[in-house]
Amino acid sequence: MNNFIKKTLAGTIAVAFLFTGCDAIKNANNTQKGGAVGATGGAVIGGVIGNNVGDGDNTALGAIIGGVVGGAAGAYIGNRMDKQAKEIENEIPGAEVTRVGEGINVTFDENSGVYFATEKYDLNEQSRNSLNKLAAIFKEYPDTNVLVEGHTDNTGSETYNMTLSKNRAQEVTDFFSSHGLSSSRFTTKWYGETQPKYDNSTADGRAKNRRVELAIVANEELKEEAKENADN
């Protein structure tokens, strides 16, 4: 997240759009955010974020904001995402579910839903139960694509952590693929210790940084459906 802030602030035009977009959506409900972001330049912001986070690869946030449609079509997608986010919250209470623009960011750390034993990447029983519930929701909403990201704390070498984050993210993706979901819906990324969200100098911060994040976004079919409905 620190790299995200630094790189985003590096472009003054992007910053101007960012503040405009934030002011416009600050008091909007989740569905309205889908329309508000695009209407105030959010698509431009998304392109900047998408190209500058994770050394050229989208982070979970960048993937969501970078794919905004905006306007009435964005509001249509936002309504779908509201419903899906609510189901995820109900089925997996420990997950951190955040509605962002036209997508959903889901974070699993060691205290919520899906977690791994120290230095391990195989899924335990509790994690499998949570992912089973999530797979069922993905089947209910087939018009979404999912980015799966793996992250670690800064304990150990950078090389080791990069490999560990890759294995954990891949384990989650493989689980979905082996439970009736098309592998084409999933993109897998890993960042090791390079994208901490919390303070790695504390035990609690390190535990939260050892996480898997999901970005749930509209696929092309849903985007076209939203645009057609917006035109009617």
Q: And the tokens for 92?
A: 């997996």
Q: Which CATH number fits domain 2-231: 3.30.1330.60, 3.90.1520.10, 3.40.50.920, 3.20.20.120?
A: 3.30.1330.60
Written as one letter, the residue type at 126 is Q
Contact 63, 105 (CB under 8 A): no
Separation of alpha carbons 102 and 230, rounded Å: 15
Q: pLDDT tens digits for the chain (232 residues)? A: 433 333 322 332 233 333 333 333 333 344 444 444 443 333 333 333 333 333 434 488 888 988 888 999 999 999 999 999 999 999 998 899 999 999 999 999 877 778 888 788 999 998 999 999 999 999 999 999 999 999 999 999 999 999 999 999 999 999 999 999 999 999 999 999 999 989 999 999 998 889 999 999 999 999 999 999 887 7
Around 230, how many Cα atoms within 13 Å sit in the side-chain half-sphere? 19
Residues written for the chain:
232
Q: In whole angstroms, give the CA distance from residue 61 to residue 73.
A: 20
C-alpha closest to that of 170 among 157, 186, 155, 193: 186
- Parse the chain into domains and list their residue ranges: 2-231
Q: For 93-125, what is each residue's pLDDT tens digit?
A: 889 999 999 999 999 987 777 888 878 899 999
What are 208-226's pLDDT values in tens digits? 889 999 999 999 999 999 9
**Of residues 133, 26, 28, 144, the one with CA closest to residue 81:** 144
Q: pTM, whole model, 2 decimals? A: 0.76
Rg (CA), the chain: 17
